[in-house]
Amino acid sequence: MSSATPHTTNAVLAWLNGIRRLLRGMLGANAYNDYVAHRQRVHPEKPVMSEREFWREQAREQEANPGARCC
């Protein structure tokens, strides 16, 4: 029988979910969802790019303005 209580299990799962969100944010995986939320909140009258269009635009922008990337 396990000694973990439901409270402990929930706390561990919440912590792991927080780490997952942090890593996704650092890797840019949340970028499209953040973009959609921003457009709906700030510019609801304007169309939202599809996810494919969004990532193509991100790649174009990165190529045009490489900034401080390493490679």
Domain residue extents for the chain: 6-64
Each residue of 1-10: pLDDT tens digit? 456 788 899 9
Contacts with 15 (C-beta within 8 Å, 6 or more apart), sequence order: none
Task: List helix spans (H) across the chain.
Answer: 6-27, 31-42, 51-64
Query: What is the Cα–Cα distance from 23 to 25, expressed in whole angstroms?
Result: 5
Query: What is the Cα–Cα distance from 47 to 38, expressed in whole angstroms?
Result: 12
pLDDT for the residue 70: 64
Q: The tokens of 49 are what? A: 């790019």
pLDDT for the residue 15: 93
Each residue of 9-54: pLDDT tens digit? 999 999 999 998 888 878 878 899 999 999 999 999 999 999 999 9
pLDDT for the residue 2: 58
Q: pTM value? A: 0.61
Per the listing, tokens 């921003």 go with: 38
